[in-house]
Amino acid sequence: MTDLATRYNIPGQHFWLHGPRSGPAVEFDAQTGMWSVYGYPEAHDILGDPETFSSNTLRLLPKGMVPDSEEFSMEGFITQIDPPLHGKLRKLVSSAFTRKVVADLEPRIAELTRELLDAAKERGHLELVTDLAYPLPVIVIAELLGVPTSDRDLFKQWADALFQRDAKFSLSEPAETQQMDAAIKPWKEMTAYLAAHAAERRAHPRADLITRLVEAEVDGERLPDDQVVNFAMTLLLAGHITTTMLLGNTVLCLDAFPDQQARVMADRSLVPHAIEESLRLFTPFAAVSRATRREVTVGEATIPADQMMLVWLAAANRDPRQFADPETFDLGRDPNPHVAFGRGVHFCLGAPLARLEGRVALDILLDYFGPLRAAEGVEMIPTPTMTGVRRLALA
Ligand code: HEM
């Protein structure tokens, strides 16, 4: 894998892409002030135990590191909320964002993929991210929510301002404050934009997801306005960057492992395996955070209460204790119990959509341009906790 890291200019901070790591499964990182978890069984247990490991990690950030919570806070977001409140909220949003709503999108995803690839074919070249991996999921999520796809440059500006940072997150480095401050404006704009859409749907319901969220009801309870906005915002942001990373990474994996690409070219029933194996080997959200509620022993480490933890899903997905030959992209890996979508109560709500988009788009991409070969100059997103291709032109 070291060769691949060099070949694709993968930054050093993406340590999980630089060959097998040695060292303990859990360790304290003095530079960030957080505990890092790298092992699969440890990550598996932590994600399955929200009683001990809270998702509400913002409370541990030192004062001054995050802007005033009145202005900018993730506190009310589903990913930060613990049981039992989390279960109630998840039930409500799931009643609007169902598997059927997602499954029904398949023909539209295929149509959009063909439109985008036809345009690239006409131009005679394909830069995967700009031409397919970015626009496809954004258009799909915008259409699903019911916000104008023509506003997608705006969504990109917001998503970039909120996500694409190159600084390492640290509890002890105040430099982060500046980056957070820069995120306030897009945050406010996005909140106001979605609040206006939600208010409009209350007055004039339509056949879209924002209307379904506004009308969602479980046991006589509805989502409060701010939760409709929060969830729409989560979907718009998550619907953006994640599948974009997944598609780019999958093409990179196929380029790096041509024997596996030949297999999937010859047998398209392997397309879903390619998507799962890409999620394992190039895990898009490389890490998720948790906070200890009490002193607890994880692996060999004893961690005090109220400590911030980074659970490195990307490293867990390459743990040789769980995956044989973990550095190899292997379409025959079955079962493939990767934790790229997390695990437990917070398991990714968008996993069915990401998988569907990945599967449909890869199948059509192979029809149009297979075998897929990356040209020189692949670029990765610099954000330390993300694994994703930012630029990949086909040779
Ligand atoms: C949660 C990864 C795509 C919506 C999560 C979590 C992970 C994840 C790791 C768990 C976070 C935690 O435990 O703290 C991914 C990956 C994706 C992807 C790798 C694509 C390859 C999507 C998409 C959507 C989405 C397309 C929606 C359009 C969500 C939501 C949650 C979530 C709403 C929060 C669930 C909860 O807290 O109950 N995702 N995601 N994700 N994801 Fe995704």
pLDDT one-digit tens code per residue, 154-163? 988 888 787 7
User: Token digits for 38?
Assistant: 């790298």
3-state secondary structure of 114: helix
| Minimum-distance ligand 1 atom for the alpha carbon of 234 | 33
Q: Is the pLDDT assigned to residue 229 strictly greater than 80?
A: yes
Burial of 77 (0-12, 13-18, 19+ CB in 10 A): middle
Would you place residue 365 in the very low, low, confident or very high pLDDT band (cuts 50, 70, 90)? Answer: very high
Instruction: Please tell me the residue having the least CA distance from ligand 1 atom 22.
Output: 350
**What is the share, in percent, of the chain residues with pLDDT greater than 70?**
91
* Token pair recorded at residue 330: 């292997």
Task: Supply the ipTM of this predicted assembly.
Answer: 0.99
Q: How far is the CA of 341 from the centre of ligand 1 (A)?
A: 6
313 Cα nearest atom in ligand 1: 9
The mean per-residue pLDDT over the stretch 342-361 comes to 98
Q: Is the pLDDT of residue 387 over 70?
A: yes
Domain 2-66+77-391, CATH class in plain words: mainly alpha
SS3 39: coil
382 vs 395: CA distance, rounded Å: 23
**Confidence category of residue 214, pLDDT binned at 50, 70, 90:** very high
Q: What is the C-alpha separation between 386 and 164, in angstroms, rounded?
A: 9
Beta carbons within 8 Å of 95's beta carbon, 6+ residues apart: 216, 217, 218
**Among 273, 385, 335, 357, which residue's Cα sits nearest to residue 102?**
357
Task: Name which of 17, 41, 13, 18 is nearest 29 in CA terms.
Answer: 13
| The pair of three-digit structure tokens given for residue 349, joined into one six-digit string | 């709500």
Is 133 near ligand 1, meaning CB less than 6 Å away? no
Q: Is the minimum distance from the CB of 136 to ligand 1 under 6 angstroms? A: no
Choosing from 44, 155, 343, 348 the residue with most ligand 1 atoms within 8 A of its CB, the one to mutate for a pocket test is: 348
- Rg of the chain over Cα atoms, rounded to whole angstroms, equals 21
* pLDDT, tens only, 282-293: 999 999 999 999
Q: Where are the domains of the chain?
A: 2-66+77-391
What does the pLDDT read at residue 327?
95
d(CA 206, CA 225): 17
Q: Is the CB of 288 under 6 A from ligand 1?
A: yes
Q: Is 35 in the pocket of ligand 1 (CB under 6 A)?
A: no
User: Which residue puts its alpha carbon closest to atom 24 of ligand 1?
Assistant: 350
C-beta of 338 in contact with ligand 1 (< 6 A) = no
Q: Chain-wide mean pLDDT for the chain? A: 91
